[in-house]
Amino acid sequence: MNDSSLPLAGKRALVTGAARGIGAAIAKKLAADGADVAITYEKSMEKAEAIVADMRALGRRALAIQADAANPEASIAAVERTVADLGGIDILVNNAGVLVAGPFTDQSLEDMDLLLNVNVRGVFVTTQAALKHIPDGGRIITIGSNAGLTVPFAGIAVYAATKSAMESFTRGLAREFGSRAITVNLVRPGPIDTDMNPADGSLAASILPSLSIPRYGKTQEVAEAVAFLAGPGAAYVTGSGILVDGGIAA
């Protein structure tokens, strides 16, 4: 049951990697704004089903799909399942990502492959599959990082490179699909309190001195930026990005 007064009423969204953290906050915010939402998860089935239950409690259609973002076949299948169950896809949020931090000389080829396969190839594959279904006026939003623009501390060179790739990818797609009024944008979180980068974690001591607002961000603060880009008020915003980073890139 969709309230037609909500900004995303009648829209269908896929949010990748949304069983927890930023992805979960995004999925719930899109549902609160009226969208039916599919999410993917890799391992956290119980957490994913809890997110689905929260969205269904709002009267939305919702489903969780097991899909490893590093697996192209699984990513494509997740898109097709979303279309089959929700009847289409209007909004794609490429949220699934991994962070491996540490000295570059200590990072293994396996570490680098993981970062590239999830943070770059996974986005390419999922977006290409979704664009076969996204109608004119649709939305593609990728969760980048402030590290795609600046690298404020050591130990994340490969991760930063993967997020920098999303900057050019976003601008290129915006050029390619603007004639169909499909907008393509980034949200660039800074340090957000999640399992991947907790506010009391090992990176916090090096991060906090670089922030203008001296705290870690909240997942809901990222979700609000995504919801804006997904909504009707951002129809003329494309090839761009929003920093949600407490000023670390200032």
What is the DSSP code (8-state) at residue 178?
A: G
Which among 41, 159, 216, 236 is annotated as catalytic? 159
195-to-50, 81, 163, 219 alpha-carbon distances in Å: 17, 28, 19, 11
Q: Judging by beta carbons within 10 Å of its beta carbon (0-12, 13-18, 19+), is residue 5 exposed, middle or buried?
A: exposed
Contact 213, 250 (CB under 8 A): no
- Residue 159 known to be catalytic: yes
Cβ–Cβ contacts within 10 Å for residue 20, how many?
A: 18
Which phi and psi (to 5°) does residue 240 adopt? -130, -170
Strands 36-41 and 62-66: parallel
8 Å CB contact between 65 and 78: yes
Enumerate the β-bridge partners of residue 192: 217
What residues are annotated to the active site? Answer: 159
